[in-house]
Amino acid sequence: MLSKMKLYWKEIFKFLSGVALAGSLADLQLYLNHISIPFVANISIPYFGSIFTWQEFGLRGLADFILFIVFFYYGFIKK
């Protein structure tokens, strides 16, 4: 049986805020340098073999930064 485990949500949100910040900064660098990265090529799975453009990195970086703000609030600011 699974024992009752207490989750420390504040610590989880602190960790997720760091992850979201690192992801948003990496995406920001790819966006600012106009770098596109190809997915795995030469296979017949939909959406593979295409290119993840630098504009998509900008949108993804913005979404990650919004998540960073939310996680930072719940992990560090909210009592």
36 vs 57: CA distance, rounded Å: 8
The reply to whether 1 falls in a domain is no
pLDDT of residue 10: 94
Confidence at residue 42, expressed as pLDDT on a 0 to 100 scale: 57
Which residues contact residue 15 at a Cβ distance below 8 angstroms, ignoring those fewer than 6 apart?
A: 75
Q: What is the pLDDT of residue 47?
A: 62
> If the chain, 79 residues long, is cut into consecutive pieces of 10 residues, what is the mean pLDDT of each piece?
79 96 96 86 61 90 97 94
In a domain, 4, yes or no: no
Tell me the residue range of the domain where 15 lies. 9-77
Helix (H) or strand (E) holding 20: helix 9-32
Q: Which pLDDT does position 1 carry in this prediction?
A: 55
Task: Give me the number of domains the chain comprises.
Answer: 1
Is residue 19 domain-resident?
yes
Give the tokens for residue 28. Answer: 């920001």
**30 in a structural domain:** yes
The pLDDT score that the predictor gives to residue 79 is: 82
Residue 50 lies in a domain: yes
Assigned domain for 24 exists:
yes
pLDDT of residue 49: 61
